[in-house]
C-alpha cells in the first residue's frame, strides 16, 4: 500500500479535497497527531483509526511550542524514515511532516489559552506546555478537518485538555482516547524511553509499580487519597535512580487533588529517571452494580 508524505499544509488540503470528491461528500478522516519516533502505542492508534474511518492521516511534528527547554526539544528523538515505514505498514494514507516554519510562519500570533484543566499536574510542572499542545492540535484539526482524532490515555491530562478545547470552541471532531500500551514489564510506551540506558530502563518500571501499589490498596478498600499517595511515594523511595516530581490522586474529570476517593479517580505520577522525564497514570473507578 502506498502512503503519501506531505510537508506542506497545501498538500494536505489538496489530498482532503480529492478524498471528498472520491467520497461524493465529506470523507471520514481519522487523524493521529504525533511527535514521531513512533512505537506500538502509536501503531495501535493508527490501527483504530483505520478500523473506524474511510481515510487515515497522521502528523509527525516535534512541536517546539510545547517544550519547556531548548535542550529537551533538541534531545527529543527523531527518525522520520522509520516513522514513515511504521505508519505505512499500519495503514495510514498520508502523513504531514512539516518544518516548524510551515506550522508557525512569520507573523504567527494566535494561541489557545487553556483553563483550569491545564493548571495542575503536567501544567504545574511544565508551564506553557498545554498552550503549545492545544494550539498545535487546534491547527491540525483545522488543517485535516478530521471526523475523529486519536490520542493515548498515557497523556491523560493532554486528552482532558483536548476534550475541553473541542467542547468549549465547538470543534466538530470526535476525540477518541485509546488505552496505554505497555512493555511486558509494565513500562508505558513512550518515545522518550529510547533515551534510557539499561539500568535506567530497569528503574523506569517504578512508575508503573507505584501506580499498581496504589491501585491494589484502592482495590483493598483504601479511599483516603493521602494514604494512596503515601503508597506511591513509598515505592519511589525504594528506587534511587528515580527523582519523583509528583504523585497524585485527583478527580478523574476535573483533575483536582482529592482528600477522599468517592468516584472515578486518576492516580498519576511523574519522575525523572536518568536523563528522561516520564509520566504514567491509572484510573480507578467503582465497578458498575447490576
Ligand atoms: O502527544 C503528542 O505526541 C503531542 O503532544 C501532540 C498531541 C502530537 C501535539 O504535539
Is the pTM higher than 0.95? The answer reads yes
From atom 8 of ligand 1, which residue's Cα is the shortest distance away? 34
Strand order in the sheet with 4-6: 4-6, 94-96, 55-60, 29-34, 148-152, 174-178
Residue 264: half-sphere exposure toward Cβ, Cα within 13 Å: 9
Residue 290's pLDDT is what?
Answer: 73
Pairing of strands 242-251, 265-273: antiparallel
Q: Kindly state the average pLDDT of the residues 280-287.
A: 96
What's the gap in Å between 2 CA and the centre of ligand 1?
Answer: 25
The pLDDT-based confidence of 287 (bands split at 50, 70, 90) is confident
In this prediction, residue 111 carries a pLDDT of: 98
Cα 1 to middle of ligand 1, angstroms: 26
Q: Which ligand 1 atom is nearest residue 63's CA?
A: 10
CATH code assigned to 4-178: 3.40.50.620
Using CA positions, which residue lies closest to atom 3 of ligand 1?
A: 34
Find out whether 45 and 32 touch, Cβ atoms under 8 Å: yes
Q: Mean pLDDT, the chain, as a whole number? A: 97
Using the predicted structure, report yes or no on whether residue 260 has a pLDDT greater than 90. yes
Segment 59-118, tens digit of pLDDT: 999 999 999 999 999 999 999 999 999 999 999 999 999 999 999 999 999 999 999 999
Confidence at residue 241, expressed as pLDDT on a 0 to 100 scale: 98
Mutation to probe ligand 1, out of 73, 135, 136 (largest number of atoms < 8 A from CB): 136
Let me know: does 200 contact 273? Beta carbons within 8 Å: yes
Instruction: List where CATH 3.30.1300.10 sits in the chain.
Output: 191-282
* pLDDT (mean) for 129-136: 98
208 is catalytic: no
Q: Report CA(33)–ligand 1 centroid distance (Å).
A: 6
**Mean pLDDT along residues 263-277:** 97
CATH 3.40.50.620 positions along the chain are 4-178
Question: Please, what sign has the CA dihedral across residues 115, 118, 123, 124?
Answer: positive
Give counts: helices (H), strands (E), the chain: 11, 9
Give the mean model confidence (pLDDT) for residues 191-203: 97
Architecture of the domain made up of 191-282: 2-Layer Sandwich (3.30)
Residues with CB under 6 A from ligand 1: 33-35, 63, 66, 133, 136-137, 155, 158
Instruction: Tell me what percent of the residues of the chain surpass a pLDDT of 70.
Output: 100
pLDDT value of position 272: 98
34 Cα–ligand 1 center, Å:
5
Q: Which of 39, 45, 66 to mutate to test the pocket of ligand 1 (most atoms within 8 A of CB)?
A: 66
The half-sphere exposure of 73 on its side-chain side, counting CA atoms within 13 A, is 13
Protein residue whose Cα sits closest to atom 6 of ligand 1: 34
Kindly state the average pLDDT of the residues 200-210. 98
Amino acid at each position: 500500500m502506498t502512503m503519501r508524505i506531505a510537508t506542506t499544509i497545501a498538500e494536505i488540503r489538496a489530498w482532503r479535497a480529492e478524498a471528498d470528491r472520491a467520497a461524493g461528500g465529506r470523507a471520514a478522516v481519522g487523524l493521529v497527531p504525533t511527535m514521531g519516533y513512533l512505537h506500538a502505542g502509536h501503531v495501535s492508534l493508527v490501527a483504530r483509526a483505520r478500523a473506524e474511518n474511510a481515510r487515515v492521516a497522521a502528523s509527525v511534528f516535534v512541536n517546539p511550542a510545547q517544550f519547556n527547554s531548548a535542550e529537551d526539544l533538541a534531545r527529543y528523538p527523531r527518525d522520520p524514515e522509520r516513522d514513515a515505514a511504521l505508519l505505512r505498514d499500519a495503514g495510514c494514507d498520508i502523513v504531514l511532516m512539516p518544518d516548524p516554519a510551515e506550522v508557525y510562519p512569520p507573523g504567527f500570533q494566535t494561541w489557545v489559552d487553556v483553563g483550569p484543566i491545564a493548571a495542575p499536574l503536567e501544567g504545574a510542572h511544565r508551564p506553557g506546555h498545554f498552550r503549545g499542545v492545544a494550539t498545535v492540535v487546534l491547527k491540525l484539526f483545522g488543517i485535516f478537518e478530521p471526523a475523529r482524532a486519536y490520542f493515548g490515555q498515557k497523556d491523560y491530562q493532554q486528552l482532558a485538555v483536548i476534550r475541553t478545547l473541542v467542547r468549549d470552541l465547538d470543534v466538530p471532531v470526535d476525540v477518541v482516547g485509546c488505552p496505554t500500551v505497555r512493555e511486558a514489564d509494565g513500562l508505558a510506551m513512550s518515545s522518550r524511553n529510547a533515551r534510557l540506558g539499561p539500568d535506567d530502563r530497569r528503574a523506569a518500571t517504578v512508575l508503573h509499580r507505584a501506580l499498581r501499589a496504589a491501585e491494589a490498596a484502592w482495590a483493598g478498600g483504601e479511599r483516603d487519597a493521602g494514604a494512596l499517595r503515601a503508597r506511591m511515594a513509598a515505592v519511589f523511595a525504594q528506587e534511587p535512580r528515580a527523582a519523583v516530581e509528583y504523585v497524585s490522586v485527583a478527580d478523574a474529570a476535573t483533575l483536582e487533588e482529592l482528600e477522599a476517593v468517592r468516584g472515578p479517580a486518576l492516580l498519576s505520577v511523574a519522575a525523572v529517571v536518568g536523563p528522561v522525564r516520564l509520566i504514567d497514570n491509572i484510573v480507578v473507578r467503582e465497578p458498575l452494580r447490576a
